[in-house]
Amino acid sequence: MIREMQAAIFDLDGVIVDTAKYHYLAWKRLAYALGFDFTERDNERLKGVSRQHSLEILLEIGQQSLNEEEKQTYAAMKNDWYVEYIQQLHTNEILPGVTDYIEKIRNRGVKTAIGSASKNTPLILERLGIRKMFDSVVDGNKVSKAKPDPEVFLRAAAEIKVIPQACVVFEDAEAGIEAALRAGMGAVGIGRPASLIEADAVIEGIWQLLIL
């Protein structure tokens, strides 16, 4: 159930900015280099999942096995391609309604934070010029346990000094919804209700919150 929101914690990829397509392109390029195809449907399994775990899933899809050293090499290769793509990231790739909604709730005194698995979070926020919209940023560089572990959201709540029960998480991935619920927070899914069944509520995008 969603209670009075004292803090809003936003996932980054797929909630604030449309970077999922660049992750997809980079993983597809890697799959191609390894000799197999990787579809958009396969890509759904990687949303919200850490880089290393994503590679494991990709290899499972392509029925390939690599040693640890090779895995490091390929994960780095994928990241280099991804970083190359997001160098061109433009503010028009911020998802609809995001900046207006964040401004609106901040004016009401609601704290805001990022809770993302991505180690590229600082680069993305810098490219988009939106770092100042968040009281705290917790990303894959700061936590050791990936979603669905609640660590990323609990750390964000601790940094902004709001109890988990008064936080609401906005997430596009199933693993992130599970992490939010395990943290004792409210969870709003962004996307299709069928794939985010555990969420307290599901909306198509942040823009919908401006017309509710």
Q: Residue numbers of the site for ligand B16 (CB under 6 A)?
A: 11-14, 23, 46-51, 54, 79, 116-120, 140, 173
Task: Quote the least distance from Cβ 109 to ligand B16, whole Å.
Answer: 25
Q: Kindly list the residues in this chain that would bind Mg ion in the complex (CB under 5 A).
A: 11, 13-14, 48, 172-173
Pick one of Mg ion, ligand B16, none as the site partner of residue 151 (Cβ within 5 to 8 A by kind): none
Which token pair is 184?
């004792």
Pick one of Mg ion, ligand B16, none as the site partner of residue 120 (Cβ within 5 to 8 A by kind): ligand B16
Catalytic annotation, residues? 11, 13
Nearer to Mg ion, 116 or 136 (CB): 116
Task: Quote the least distance from Cβ 4 to ligand B16, whole Å.
Answer: 25
**Closest by alpha carbon to 166, among 84, 126, 110?**
110
Task: Quote the least distance from Cβ 30 to ligand B16, whole Å.
Answer: 12
Nearer to ligand B16, 115 or 186 (CB): 115
Pick one of ligand B16, Mg ion, none as the site partner of residue 188 (Cβ within 5 to 8 A by kind): none
